[in-house]
Amino acid sequence: MYKTIVVHIDGSRQQESRLRAAALLAGAHGAHLVGAAATGVSWLDLALLSGAASAPVPVADFDELRETATARLRQFEEQAARLGVGSVESRLIEDAAGSGLLLESRYADLMVLSQDPRPAPGLPLRARGMPEHLAIRGTRPVLVVPEDYRVQVLPGIVVAGWDGSLQALRAITAALPLLAAADSVKLVLVNPDARSALHGEQPGADLALYLARHGVRVEVVLERTGSTVGNALMALARDSGAALMVAGVYGHSRYRELALGGVTRELLERAPVPLLIAH
């Protein structure tokens, strides 16, 4: 069970969908829902930079940042109440969002963020990469919610990617509370012959048995395709009417991943349903 869920509060247009998903899970698990909003700069940073010509935030503006974040938290509490969440808390982070949320994740069972914005001309790198930052550098799973998420069904049918890696195993293990409650779980192996040493004679069978012992209604699906792994998983999620995807996240340098793409980047940008990731 997830008993403490943290949702990122930043006032963006994506916030409504991730709050809806977080509230739904909080209700299902009887969880305490924490809304965390960051000022974007710490008092220490402000003190160090206040005398510098290159200071990113004038001292006089810091109170305004704090007031803005506080106002967003008040709105979060009102929205959470309307969504029927019984146990709610607001936390103001006087720091950059990435480092602040990373600290918050130590004392939570699940972090809820939004899907990365699509790459666009002029979009700074710092505007992207928060979900994998928390998954790779933290110890808790991250639920990544698309902006257009509207369906009030979690977990429903789940598509879980399995390639024999530790990252995939950690994601699936972290998702056990959701997998056990799912209508069905499709344990998907894409082109498993390429990693036969990890899968054995019956690809997916050992993990499926492990999950079944936890009460998971699991089906092994072998996908052989010339498409990318990410595209294959997303297509199966759409075709099966899945409400949740689960995948391990692989860390590379930011520039290498942006240049080469990869399963992680595909899913984080384009997954059609909420995606639970772990590293």
For residue 70, the tally of other CB atoms under 10 A from its CB is: 14
Q: Is 210 helix (H, G, I), strand (E, B) or coil?
A: helix
8 A C-beta contact, residue 131 and residue 277: yes
pLDDT of residue 188: 98
- The gap between the terminal CA atoms of the chain, to the nearest Å, is 19
Task: In the chain, list all ranges with CATH 3.40.50.620.
Answer: 4-114, 157-278
Residue 38's H or E segment, with its range, is strand 32-38
* pLDDT of the residue at 125: 44
pTM: 0.90
pLDDT, one tens digit for every residue, the chain (279 residues) = 999 999 999 999 999 999 999 999 999 999 999 999 999 987 666 666 555 545 555 666 778 999 999 999 999 999 999 999 999 999 999 999 999 999 999 999 999 999 976 655 544 444 468 999 999 999 999 999 999 998 778 999 999 999 999 999 999 999 999 999 999 999 999 999 877 777 878 999 999 999 999 999 999 999 999 999 999 999 999 999 999 999 999 865 554 444 334 788 899 999 999 999 999
For the chain, how big is the Rg over CA atoms in Å? Answer: 20
Contact indicator for 169, 211 with CB cutoff of 8 Å: no
- Whole-number pLDDT of residue 60: 63
Q: Write out pLDDT tens, residues 244-260.
A: 999 999 865 554 444 33
CATH of domain 157-278: 3.40.50.620
pLDDT at 258: 43
Cα separation, 38 vs 201, in Å, equals 50
Q: What's residue 151's pLDDT?
A: 77
Write down the pLDDT at residue 56.
56
Tell me the CATH number of domain 4-114, given options 1.10.1240.10, 3.40.50.620, 3.40.50.300, 3.40.50.2300. 3.40.50.620
In Å, what is the CA distance from 148 to each residue of 13, 51, 125, 248, 271?
10, 43, 23, 23, 11
